[in-house]
Chains A and B, each alone.
Chain A
Amino acid sequence: MSKTLFEKIWDSHVVVQEDGRSLLYVDRHLVHEVTSPQAFDGLRLNGRKVRRTDLTFATMDHNVPTSDRSLPIIDQTSSTQIKALEKNCKEFGITLFDINSPNQGIVHVIGPELGITLPGTTIVCGDSHTSTHGAFGALAFGIGTSDVEHVLATQCIMMEKPKTFEIKIQGKRKNPHAVTAKDIILSIIRKIGTAGGTGTVIEYRGETISELTMEQRMTICNMSIEAGARAGLIAPDEKTFQYLRGRKYSPENYDESVNYWRENLKTDSSAKFDKSFILGVENIAPQVSWGTNPAMTTDVTGTVPFPEEYGKGNPEEEKGATKALQYMNLQPGTAITDITIDRVFIGSCTNSRLEDLMEAAKVVKGKKVSTKVRAMVVPGSQLVKKNAEELGLDKIFKSAGFEWRESGCSMCLGMNPDILSAGERCASTSNRNFEGRQGTGGRTHLVSPVMAAAAAIHGHFVDVRELDLN
């Protein structure tokens, strides 16, 4: 019987089936400080152990400060949570990349970087952006804390099988440096909606996907959850195998693994998906979100829509748009390029990898950040930071007036001191523009790294297709 890639990975991980649900084996469990303390407490309360310490990896990323790491953490509650993770990892025997480790970073950046993320595996983490790892042909999804405890104790997860959703991305972008992976995924979410993928695992396919680098593919899979999907998936290819070769935790008999992956990890040509969507990328523009969810997005050449235009006859969506515009303090009809900004954040598990920083640096080089803007770059991991510094990117950003910081989730969700003040407007390379996400009363516009960099220089959004990025 022909199968999709998802079905192949799923079927090969079923331990038991009952009541229409499957007990699925988990190959890799990633743990961070925010969603794990209650899970470890649960284990202690019931006298349970971590079943597979060798398949469990932890780091601290959500609320670590991105300023000088040699200083003590001022926020007591953050410090408590970080210490709790240290204590729990020690007590239960789990590998931890702590705040001073050269491998510390955002959990979804370090997984692939260290070769923990591998094709054909199942990966879970108590974080919705676990979908990122799907870029390597791994079935990866976010779980809640009760499931974190369940996986720690049993190395399995009980799940109903999701449906399959094929998103074909085809065509050639006229300027791939200006119209990026971020613009592709925002275009998709804008069209299918924030619940368009609910109950499904999306497989991204098509010629455009093959052409993307691994880091770009991660940006796409990362935001699958913003379309409501359980996971995003891209079949592994030579780029995948090349990326993972020689990484710290990549398999020793690597060529043998590659042969197996190459042979087995693809959707059969006659396999059927439950749902399909096609995006042509020839004419898509750089995207800018204007509202309070990622589907509230438009072209940089566009205008802020009227609620009834956005709602398309759905009164609930229309009400949502009215409330969003109020929160964002935007008037319908305003040109996107007329929106001025106060802050710029380049970072997050969506766009904080080396390539993101290299692309943004091209825009920034030799220029100055607008005097009205405070801008920061937060590399996704210590390794990204080190590699970027070796290329001199830190100097480019710093001499333009950007802050160059230590790695972590930072202002993507503002659990550390990096937050917006009420009313501040930010061009952000992160994944969510929810109310208050980057700081109570803060206003977030989601954009690509090049769009964020250009906004920092000009003080408002600009169409980066007009810049020379080659």
Chain B
Amino acid sequence: MSTQKKVMWWIGGAVIVVYALFPIAWIISISLKAPSDIANGQFAPTNVSWENYTTILTGSASGLFLPALRNSFGICLIATFISCVLAMFAAYAIARLDFRGKRLILSTALGVAIFPVISIVTPLFNVWRQIGLYDTWPGLILPYLSLTLPISIWTMSAFFREIPWEMEQAAQVDGATTWQAFRKVIVPLAAPGVFTTAIIAFFIAWNDFVYGIVLTSTEAARPVPAALGLFSGASQFEDPTGAIAAAAVIVTIPVVILVLLFQRRIVAGLTNGAVKG
């Protein structure tokens, strides 16, 4: 590559990074501004103030925020775990076995995924109230599964298809039962795929707002995105902007940590050297 081309690439890259990270920088900056400073008309806060963070963690908003944080973590982790386990078996079957209705399962999964949440949330609200799932963890885990399962099945079956059939046949010839071959050979090989899927599923559940706000009413099950919408200022003349920004930053942190932790596992091509070439 010529120097000129390199420079162009660097500039292009920088533009994209700035474009993607600017809103995050902005929200961090807002979260560090005192309420009186928010409309100061400049990017950086005049004085760095941790006031917003104290408000949501120990102050007046903590009663709303902390239970919501706990709910979000609990509900999203459980939903992710269940959808990964189910998707693993489903994807294995789809990638490996030839059975009637295989295409039907895949296209149904896709159909569910493209169905707009808003169109089913009202009937769901009624049903949930009738059967007692309203404002409970299972009441959110179930709809979250409907969001995460289809995408999990699709991504994981793509990963399973990448694993050569011979791997498993070799294990069977070596004396493994189908279950042993699955557990000792296929699962370790599919690990990067499982992690990737888990992270995607977690994000989807973590980011949901509509189910969260409609299907909950108290801190018993309300997740963070819904709680953010219910923040109020110290008085009715004050915006809760600073507190919302601080909460948004805190909510972003687990996502960033997750990606950093599993980045190597996601990228690592574990199947390298499994077969020729």
Q: Does B associate with A?
A: no
Please report B residues at the A interface, Cβ cutoff 8 Å.
none
